[in-house]
Chains A and B, each alone.
Chain A
Amino acid sequence: MRKGKLGIWIAVTALLISVLSGCASGGSNKVDNTSGSESKPDSSAKAVTLKMVMWDSNNDFITFLNDKVKEYSKVKSNVTIELESFKSDSDYLQAVKVRAGGNALPDIIELKPNWLSDFKEQLMPLDGLGFVSSNKYADKYKVDGKVLAVPSVSFPELVYYHPSVFKELNLEVPTTWPQFLDVLNKIKENGTYIPYAMGGKDAWPDYPFNEFLPHILSDDENYLSAMAEEDAPFAQGTAFYEGFSQIAQLYDAKVMGPDPLGVGWDQATDLFVSKQAAVVASGLWFVPTYASKTGSTDDLAAFPMPYRQNEDTPLKLMTFTDHFYGISASTKYADEAKAFMEWFYSPEVYQDYIDHAQLGSAYEGIEANVPFLQDFYNNNKNEPFLYIPGNAAYTDLANAIQLDVKALGQEMMAGKTVDEISKDLDGKWSKARSAK
């Protein structure tokens, strides 16, 4: 009996040793994910399936893209595009990170601009390719001097309002921050409408303020990367401190309904759509959502978020680029993936893409057919200000101190002061910098 037990233990130990030695062999300081990292040239006759992964909250757009990429088989009969879609960008990011860790990334990956540094080792440089040179913004988002992905869309960040409400309350479109607060206060005084629909329960809807305001106030598109060079970028006198103080004026004015933190984005936009709320801020992507709920955009108009204090300075319009596509460095079909991207961004295909996305174009010579956007540009004078995410140094520091400006926005709405935030962040930032 004892011998029998010994045999089992020997077998178990052998299994353990074989598994652990397997880990050890890959593990001086490498994760075991070297398989499939070579890019093999394929003959045109060989059947190839390219996996593409994307997110979008709009089901119709996902259906459109699914059908669109299938058309590529007519151009290259041996290539099939398999599209996998996610409904939320956070779920998408989590899934892609897990796959990156296991070296199971799809061939073509969609990204947000602020994810590019994180995935720099997983993306293939695209410099010199045709679809890169004709992209208006690709060069602005180089990581370590290389273009790793190209943005598919650009769009302005807007403040939406109901013209009927402004007319009823005799309000003018504000062009400065004090005017903006004044408009919201007047709506509050009237008492019929919630002045601003925040949706703060979800944290991210405060991004037009907590993420963009200090950035625009700095007047430097590379403000976030510049922060990485400073020891106290949150201290009094910095763009961060001034911006957050400006935001505090808005949050302290109590113009976001009875409980801005108890209502999520969906509920907040429902309040706006049903005309219970007068104003909401978000990207151009909100227009299709609004139109799908109301059937028209007749009672919808927009103006640039007036971050400036007075009319002596230009009215900056935060412009966001999004839906970047890059090619995985571990793809087995690099040539086929590049050829697909050339097709995808060819004028005819891209025009169809951008018209369905209902967002601004990222390519020279191609304009999106978005009447709302054209009306906006016709009616509002502004100076575009491009959102450029922080570089790798900034991302490392921000991750080390777990910096989430949108969660800080929630804390401000819950009563935390700018001084407390600034002191806390500066302490952590300086410590993280010295540890690097």
Chain B
Amino acid sequence: MRYTVQKRLVIFSFLCIPVGLLVLFLLYPTVKLFQFSFTNWNGISESFEYTGLKNYITAFQTPEVWTALGNNFLYFILHVIFIPLEIMVAVFLNNKIKGSNFFRSIVFMPYILNGVAVAYIFSYLYNPINGPLNALLGDMNLEFLIRNWLSDSSVVNYSLVAVSLWRFSGFHVILFLAGLQSVPADLYEAATIDGASGFQKFRYITAPGISRVIEIVLFLNVRGALQVFDIPFLMTQGGPGTASTTFTVYTIQTAFKYNNYGLASTLAVILMTIIIVFSMLQSRLFKGREE
């Protein structure tokens, strides 16, 4: 057998399994997802009918879908607002301060914790009867701040976003920290010699140096905010009523609670499209800036 034939054979055999797995577990389900998005399949029945674009029209005309997306947007925007703070914490931890390794571990800890555990911890903290948060506010004579954290429709989403911030901000800080450590120290030395101020160093050295990390964090933010599921599902089940329902919670309920796999598949396709579009826009934005 010729060497090139042997080489191709080896390459093909090595690729066969991963490509097969990719087709089976990614491409095939995706194709089926698109197929079901054009049907009225209830998820149980053996048969279904093709309904054209009806599910897509229904999805766009259902106010609850937009309300759920609005809740997702709140997660996105509050996480974006927190990015400067996360960078500040990262800059602080990047300095040679006493116990910085300890603090680095501490900020990363919430990310390691299991989502279910986090939900239970915060459900306890927010508890209206003997809950530590309201008790603390009472002890500090801040009774006017006491709220029904998970049952007041106007407060519940902020309570849940706070949990999300607590859980993921530490991870973002560590990413920013890694970015900061990759910026060469001689650039700062040169800037110091040239008389640059602290802000100028940040504006012209640090920020461009960690722009890739900011891009990654923003992508994670878009993806995470649009797909947020475990925190609202475990802590409020989307309630009270539908007040804290997010897009993914709504999709899951459409499929499993209301037996509408067709519409749920459509919602999943829409979610996938939104994430791709946002990521592309973001990538273009950063590319444009780099150029």
Contacts and interface: CB of A to CB of B under 8 A. Distances in A.
Interface in B31-65: 31-32, 35, 41-50, 64
A8 B14 CA distance: 11
A336 B175 CA distance: 60
B44 A29 contact: no
Contact of B7 (A4, A11, A31): A4
Contact of A19 (B15, B28, B49, B258): B28
B241 interface: yes
A10 B8 CA distance: 12
Nearest to A6: B8
A24 B12 CA distance: 27
A16 B237 CA distance: 39
Contact of B47 (A7, A29, A402): A29
A402 B64 contact: yes
Contact of A262 (B15, B149, B242): B149
A16 B41 CA distance: 24
Given A4-B7, A31-B46, A402-B253, A407 B242 contact: yes
B23 A97 contact: no
Nearest to A401: B258
Interface stretch (B79-87, B125-133, B274-282): B125-133
A414 B149 CA distance: 13
Contacts of A400: 258, 260
A414 B240 contact: yes
B31 A23 contact: yes
B227 interface: no
Interface stretch (B91-99, B150-158, B210-218): B150-158
A404 interface: yes
A100 B44 contact: yes
B43 A101 contact: yes
Contacts of A3: 8
Interface string A118-146: 11011000000000000000000000000
Given A11-B12, A201-B236, A410-B241, A119 B31 contact: no
A19 B35 CA distance: 14
A404 B257 contact: yes
B284 to A, nearest CB: 29
Contact of B258 (A4, A201, A402, A416): A402
Given A19-B24, A261-B148, A402 B241 contact: no
B11 interface: yes
Interface residues of B, number: 52
Contacts, number: 134
Nearest to B28: A19
B31 A407 contact: no
Contacts of B241: 407-408, 410-411, 414, 416
A12 interface: yes
Contacts of B260: 399-400
Interface in B136-160: 148-153
Interface string A392-419: 0000000110101001101101111000
Given A262-B150, A410-B239, A31 B24 contact: no
B128 A97 contact: no
A15 interface: yes
Interface string A259-285: 111110001000100000000000000
A202 B237 contact: yes
Contacts of A373: none
A8 B44 contact: no
A295 to B, nearest CB: 24
Nearest to A411: B241
Contact of A121 (B4, B12, B35, B46): B46
B243 interface: yes
B67 interface: no
Interface in A235-266: 257-263
Nearest to B235: A201
B150 A97 contact: no
A119 B44 CA distance: 7
A29 B258 contact: no
Contacts of B4: 4
B11 A8 contact: yes
A94 B19 CA distance: 31
Interface string A195-229: 00000111100000000000000000000000000
7 contacts: A16-B27, A23-B32, A29-B48, A31-B48, A101-B43, A258-B128, A261-B151
Given A4-B11, A19-B27, 15 more contacts: A4-B8, A20-B31, A29-B49, A31-B41, A31-B48, A97-B256, A119-B44, A122-B44, A257-B129, A259-B128, A262-B150, A402-B254, A407-B239, A411-B240, A414-B152
User: Which 4 residue pairs across A and B have the least CB separation, nearest first?
Assistant: A261-B151, A411-B241, A259-B128, A262-B128
